[in-house]
Amino acid sequence: MKPPRIARPYKPSSYPHHRSGTRRADTLPPSSPLTPPPPPKSDTLLTLWRRSWLPLTGAALLAGFLGFYIFGTAVASFKTCPCEGVCEHAAPTGRPPALTGENAEQFDKELNFGEWWMGITGLCRKLAEHATGHVLELAMGTGRNLEYYNWEPLSVAAEVANTGRKKVVAPQGITSFTGLDISADMLDVARRRLVKTVPPMSSSAPIVKASTMADHTGGQLSYLDSHLRLINSDAHHPLPPPAAATSNPKYDTVIQTFGLCSVADPVAVLSNLASAVKPGTGRIILLEHGKVWYGIINGLLDKNAGKHFQKYGCWWNRDIELLVDKAVKKTPGLEVVKLDRPNILQMGTLVWVELRVADKA
CA dist list (Å): 156 to 89, 112, 171, 194, 281: 47, 31, 10, 16, 24
Distance of CA 313 to the CA centre of its chain: 21
Q: What CATH number has the domain bearing residue 345?
A: 3.40.50.150
pLDDT digits (tens, 9 = 90+) for 126-177: 999 999 999 999 999 999 999 999 998 888 877 777 776 766 666 689 999 9
Average model confidence (pLDDT) across the chain: 80
pLDDT band at 207 (very low <50, low <70, confident <90, very high): confident
Q: Is 41 inside any structural domain?
A: no
End-to-end CA distance of the chain: 136
Rounded distance between C-alpha atoms, residue 233 and residue 187, angstroms: 11
Q: Is 10 inside any structural domain?
A: no
pLDDT band at 319 (very low <50, low <70, confident <90, very high): very high
Q: Do the Cβ atoms of 168 and 145 come closer than 8 Å? A: no
pLDDT band at 73 (very low <50, low <70, confident <90, very high): very low
Rounded distance between C-alpha atoms, residue 116 and residue 145, angstroms: 13
Q: Do the Cβ atoms of 261 and 289 come closer than 8 Å? A: yes
Q: Which residue has the higher pLDDT, 355 or 207?
A: 355
Q: In this structure, how many other beta carbons lie within 10 angstroms of the beta carbon of residue 126?
A: 13
Q: What is the pLDDT of residue 72?
A: 53
Beta bridge partners of residue 133, listed in sequence order: 174
pTM of the entire predicted model: 0.73
Q: Is 123 inside any structural domain?
A: yes
Mean pLDDT to the nearest integer, 284-291: 94
Instruction: From 146, 128, 224, 255, select the one nearest 190 (Cα to Cα).
Output: 146
Q: Is 239 inside any structural domain?
A: yes
Q: Is 82 inside any structural domain?
A: no
Q: Is 23 inside any structural domain?
A: no
**Number of domains, the chain:** 1
136, HSE (Cβ side, Cα atoms, 13 Å) = 28
Q: Is 293 inside any structural domain?
A: yes
Q: Is 125 inside any structural domain?
A: yes
Altogether, the residues listed in the chain come to a count of 361
Of 43-57, 105-119, 308-322, which gets the smallest average pLDDT?
A: 43-57
Q: Looking at beta carbons, which pairs linking 98-105 to residues 24 or more positions away fall under 8 Å?
A: 98/311, 98/312, 99/183, 99/185, 99/186, 99/313, 100/185, 101/185, 101/188, 104/142, 104/185, 104/186, 104/188, 104/189, 105/142, 105/189, 105/192
pLDDT band at 85 (very low <50, low <70, confident <90, very high): very low
Instruction: From 256, 267, 242, select the one nearest 319 (Cα to Cα).
Output: 267
Distance of CA 100 to the CA centre of its chain: 26
Asked if the model's pLDDT at residue 180 lies above 80, the reply is yes
Q: What is the pLDDT of residue 45?
A: 66
Asked if the model's pLDDT at residue 267 lies above 70, the reply is yes
**Domain residues for 232?**
104-163+171-357
Of 21-25, 188-192, 215-219, 333-337, which gets the smallest average pLDDT?
A: 21-25
Q: Which residue has the higher pLDDT, 18 or 269?
A: 269
